Chain A
């Protein structure tokens, strides 16, 4: 009850919605950069041997590093601003997406590649029209993983440092010992996560399953 009241109140007094907006903006930009860079990077890593031997092990190594560990470095590089927090989000999501895409492309049946070759596939189209769609299910898994990593990194970053945003509201709730505020922010985070899962990933997933004939 109290949580509901606080939720309503914070929507009314223009604290919750702007905070959500700020967080979402950071999240979407960071996540977008991760997708835009991670998918091509994964494709290349899977196909170019010397890249995998060098950068591939680096990526795997960096992935063991919790993304929030990048925050001090980011603050030194970018200063106390949005860019620093987005950097942390990117470091959280990018590597997970890259690794998932790489593994997905590696598991593309070689028959597809041979068929494409006999059909005179152009080098660039081999990536965009064969490898990419063939590994789409794995890429979607990577995208989901990246999304949750991005959220985690964002919240960790906002809790620790940068002002405004949902993480900051959580921290404020703690400082004011306002339990209902803390819980209502947590609720908002859960709802946003659910919404993304259902509305975006769920929809994409069912479309892919239908196309590939995987649904029952």
Chain B
């Protein structure tokens, strides 16, 4: 049974340059417990699609179903992790995790117990009383994950959650995220522009093209977990998907660059040695 169904979703934006078709006729079914990653060039509307599923934006046409019921606005059944975390700096890490539970009217003792449990899940048990500025970027994103999971949502939505972090921190978070996913069995919808990140995490990689944002390919990744970024198979599949993405990128180029510009093809090895006297 599909946990989330996206049926014929389209979205337009009105900009000064005219109407932009951000999403066109998106159909996607996400099964219970599946890890789906949306990948595409910047401006392809992948974040918009995620926001529509979250209920933060509305589609112009089409609808999103959760357990066969249409979603109506944002809700705690879909936990969201934002690119910058969007944690509340006036609260400690643990109070951040408790925020949603407080809104549900759960008593303080139970709240504290659950917040601690989810902080332990992201390996931050010792940092519950820290304020956010005392935590590193990677730790903050883990708090954000704990905050979303503490509400025990049906699905976890992640909007480029690791894109602001350095490579080493990211690697660590891939491991944590895969571990959490295996333990909780949550349905995850994850957005990124990084193909290797997508392959490293996903059961299925959904490739979007740009303007209009359409699904141009869906790739099932059947590799053993936990995966790492440097795994040969991850790199091989990433290469295949990147080739498909090139088409989407070519479209972006037409939109955003001058028309006569083409990136240079890689051909010969260019080093100082074989360039001797070339440009005299």
Contact = CB atoms under 8 A, between A and B. Distances in A.
Q: Do A and B bind each other?
A: yes
A109 B148 CA distance: 19
A119 interface: yes
A130 B88 CA distance: 8
B133 A213 contact: yes
Interface residues of B, number: 31
B100 A119 contact: yes
B104 interface: yes
Interface stretch (A40-48, A110-118, A140-148): A110-118
Contacts of A125: 102-103
Interface of B: 54-56, 73-76, 78-80, 82, 84, 86-91, 99-100, 102-104, 131-134, 147-148, 151, 157
**Most chain A beta-carbon contacts within 10 A, residue among B79, B90, B99, B132:** B90
Interface of A: 109, 111-112, 114-122, 125, 129-130, 133-134, 136, 211-213
Given A118-B56, A120-B104, 14 more contacts: A111-B86, A112-B88, A115-B86, A118-B75, A118-B79, A119-B100, A119-B103, A119-B147, A120-B103, A125-B102, A133-B90, A133-B91, A134-B88, A213-B89
Most chain B beta carbons < 10 A, residue from A119, A121, A125: A119
Overall SS of chain A's interface: helix
Contact of B90 (A118, A121, A211): A211
Given A112-B88, A212-B89, A118 B78 contact: yes
**Best-surrounded residue of B76, B86, B100 (most CB of chain A within 10 A):** B86
Nearest to A109: B86
20 contacts: A109-B86, A112-B86, A112-B88, A114-B86, A115-B80, A115-B88, A117-B55, A118-B157, A119-B99, A119-B147, A120-B75, A120-B151, A122-B103, A125-B103, A129-B99, A133-B90, A134-B88, A136-B90, A212-B133, A213-B134
Nearest to A212: B89
B102 to A, nearest CB: 8
Contacts of B147: 119
A119 B133 CA distance: 22
Contacts of B132: 213
A133 B91 CA distance: 9
A111 B82 contact: yes
B113 to A, nearest CB: 18
Contacts of B88: 112, 115, 130, 133-134
